[in-house]
């Protein structure tokens, strides 16, 4: 029934499960009735797993309605009911494939430095290469020399070509050159590492607008999507970060890293509920194949 992704996700969510499911089981084992006290305790547990206050209130309200509607009286039936509420919330929109099947495609990857942006790009590139796609990387996060060097290491590891300039170069110029190379080499997917900082939204907006204009002008036949990389260990801060990036750019999907290193795995529900942006990939380990396409049913099952 469940595949390799589910097993990795289950292992990756073990810290969250210890924080969430064990506490839920404890509360349900001690509860004698489904009452306001029980709902309050469940609310508190969800908030500490970084599901977020707003999203937690939504879950509890949906749970109350479902329990009333289905005339559930047994405490033992609360957990399966909660699991189905979470799965339904996560499934609000039709899940598309994380990577477009139409080629050529340009993927812009944004996110502050330190969230695992460059590593995620390397892992996505490796994954696409294994699917027999011709991949090209563009090192357009030129603000930090280490970002360019790190991407070069990953391009070698994944066995894909890299287009780069010097540190401090104009990111749009790197993307321009990468597009010419992608066309000349008949690449299927061009992945651009961009925007590694958020300290000045005006600068960031200008930079991304310029890059988008160049893609539109030079590569209008390509499908384009923008992925935002967030570090799940930062919990609700990741949601705030996403909101700030949404002010300056259209975001088509989220890449959530370090899910295996956190007890805050509830953040996935919060992101989907508060932002309405699909989670496309989740990182559940250090290995090159540990960035997995997200599946909401597997997530709800592995979480509870």
- Binding site as annotated, residues for GTP: 111-118, 193-197, 257-260
* 227 in Cβ contact with 293 (< 8 Å): no
- The binding site comprises 111-118, 193-197, 257-260
Beta bridge partners of 110: 228
Among residues 41, 165, 193, the alpha carbon closest in space to that of 106 is found at: 193
Sheet strands side by side (includes 189-193): 161-163, 135-139, 189-193, 105-110, 223-231, 253-257, 279-283, 291-293
Distance (Å, whole) CA 266 – CA 103: 34
Tokens of 108: 């812009």
3-state secondary structure of 113: coil
Distance (Å, whole) CA 156 – CA 159: 5
DSSP 8-state assignment for residue 79: H
């Amino acid at each position: 029934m469940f595949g390799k992704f589910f097993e990795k996700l289950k292992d990756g969510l073990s810290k969250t499960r210890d924080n969430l499911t064990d506490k839920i089981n404890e509360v349900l084992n001690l509860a004698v009735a489904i009452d306001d006290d029980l709902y309050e305790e469940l609310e508190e547990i969800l908030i500490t797993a970084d599901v977020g206050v707003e999203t937690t209130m939504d879950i509890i309200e949906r749970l109350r309605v479902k329990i009333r509607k289905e005339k559930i009286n047994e405490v033992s039936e609360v957990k399966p009911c909660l699991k189905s509420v979470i799965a339904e919330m996560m499934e609000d929109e039709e899940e598309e494939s994380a990577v477009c099947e139409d080629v050529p495609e340009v993927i812009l990857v944004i996110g502050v430095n330190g969230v695992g942006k460059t590593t995620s790009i390397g892992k996505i590139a490796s994954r696409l290469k294994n699917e027999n796609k011709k991949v090209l990387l563009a090192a357009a996060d030129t603000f930090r020399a280490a970002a360019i060097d790190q991407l070069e290491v990953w391009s070698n590891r994944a066995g894909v070509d890299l287009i780069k300039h010097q540190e401090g170069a104009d990111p749009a110029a790197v993307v321009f050159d990468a597009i010419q190379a992608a066309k000349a080499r008949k690449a299927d997917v061009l992945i651009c590492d961009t925007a590694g900082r958020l300290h000045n939204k005006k600068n960031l907006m200008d930079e991304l607008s310029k890059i988008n204009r160049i893609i539109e002008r030079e590569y209008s036949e390509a499908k384009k999507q923008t992925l935002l990389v967030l570090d799940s260990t930062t919990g609700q801060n990741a949601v705030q970060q996403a909101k700030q990036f949404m002010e300056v750019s259209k975001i088509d999907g989220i890449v959530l890293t370090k899910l295996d290193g956190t007890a805050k795995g509830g953040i996935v529900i919060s992101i989907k509920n508060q932002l309405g942006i699909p989670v496309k990939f989740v990182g559940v380990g250090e290995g090159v194949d540990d960035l997995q396409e997200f599946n909401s049913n597997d997530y709800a099952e592995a979480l509870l």
